[in-house]
Structure 1
Amino acid sequence: MANRILPFITLVFFSTLFSMVIGDDGVAISKQYPLVVSTWPFKEAVRAAWRAVDGGHSAVDAVVEGCSACEELRCDGTVGPGGSPDENGETTIDALIMNGVTMEVGAVAAMRFVKDGIRAAKLVMQHTKHTLLVGEKASAFSISMGLPGPSNLSSSDSIMKWSKWKENNCQPNFWKDVVPLDSCGPYHAKASMDVKEGGCSTRNLMGVAEPRSSLVGPHNHDTISMAVIDKMGHVAVGTSTNGATYKIPGRVGDGPIAGSSAYADTDVGACGATGDGDIMMRFLPWYCNEYQSFYFLNDEVILGKPSGIFTPFNDRCL
């Protein structure tokens, strides 16, 4: 099962249990802090986070600076405004931030008209008792809290990409068991035959899943998932993405879902993932429970699974 899942997922893991020293104020400080880790070669985003955390800012603030830099740079066209148009040609934003000390989470999903996804997520965490706000209500909240907007999140590049996709009869897309099959919508559910085989209905029989390789590849799904350990040893994670290209409007992927895209716990560590969000939301909880259980041995965290301990680099964990 793991081998079937892994092509769609890149998982990053690091432990916060490094050797510690005690500062003048009695607070434990690591010789190896601060630390910034990110998915993909988004170097400018990592540099922005590093400048913040190396300057004494918190892990949360450093994550915001790093992800915000990626949003402004429109990393790979899959982060921030101006990329990944949905079926209607619109770009929307998903983002999440998690404080590994307080375990607080803030997130926005399918947010329209506001480009600052990670800052909006931080506002949700700081100023509400909720975890996730979605759609135009997330936009209204963010604007009311001082973020710029409303803004058109599309760009000439995203509109051109969308127009070419329309000219190609809206192929590929994320619909299944609908008509028409090979052209643009509107789509309708395909009439299902309730044929009996051996006295059993075929309506609910499991079929072979269609390959998703044409839907998931470079430059059409990437998320920045960033983790930071600050000078105090505190951990935070954040994600930001404009989602899957040509997604059905309203679709929300793993990006703003804590435990699917990223998770942080200062006592243990942090992890982040990027890939096919629809696959990850289904399988990452299983993957983590079965293959990434934590075993504490003195001052070390060793990744293990029921059949025995293995190194962090097996199964594409870093």
Structure 2
Amino acid sequence: MTLYHSMAGRAVALARPLPVTLIAARAQVFDPLTCLDLNLTARRVLFGILTFVRARTPTKEIFPRRDTLRAEALLQSDSTLYRGLAMLEEKGYITRRQTRRRHCGTFYLSPIVLTLKALVLLGLQPVIHKAPSSNVEDGLIKKERTKKSQSIQKTTGCTDSPKKDEIDRETRLPVELLPLLGLGVKRTAVCWLMAKAKGVKQRLSDVVKVVESNIAALRGREVVAYLAAMLRKNVDFAWVAKQTSEAHVSAELDQTAQDTLERLDGRYDGYHVCAEDGIVLGVFQASRGPGQLALVHSPSGSIPVNLRFARACVEGSVRLVPPSTAWEDEFGD
């Protein structure tokens, strides 16, 4: 017996038991201070998606049927469901990939995965540095199992940031928190939030990094209320901030590599491709026509000039130099 029955050809959602964590997450979807970049339709779809998520493995793919997901989302039409899914994907709450049938190539599956952003905002990203013990039941963590003297220090993100721990002379606030003043937050409120963050062994700057896109549209007391609510969540914001920063750096590097790849054209035809130590690896040959790749020819064979090659150029592990310069680098005094 399924949890759905048909009524005039449409699936209708029935009551079902859910873990405490998923009940809390579904409540967060409609919290006025959570998911600020979603409209009501997208919130309903996210509410429905959480019905199919497993509390212990929230990052695993789920495969809800279209009609059952629409029923759980309390929506009346497929077009409304699709608009909600599109917004969730656009705002970074879910990812989807379509799978084709092997025998005919038509699409038949579109699994959904919750992103780190959704897990954090909905309280589904707990902090566990050890294996679950008797302090964990029904997916809800009673007490964080971490070492007080090491956990925060070892998981602090962006330790090489030049702004980390830098103090503004005029306001006597950390430089990383100055954007809060631009959002209408008073200095005294920032200090109060810093004290609350310290009380739960967090850094306010890490929290701000994680939720900066959500507080951009808020002002004054709304920002303070939102950050205070975030500090009450059992989330290692330092770790999340580090992951977010690394993902941002990787995305920027990929974009730079893509721009570099587009510039590797006929002007470099005949240039030598050299390694960091100056050894000539091959000769650059520009593409000979539309749709063809440029190549690097060497005595041992040829390699394509693709995004991986462009990224190597950006990182400095290979470089393009005129033939005369390469000759001087390799054989000069």
Larger radius of gyration: 2
TM-score (norm 2): 0.21
TM-score (norm 1): 0.22
Bigger fraction of residues in strand: 1
Bigger fraction of residues in helix: 2
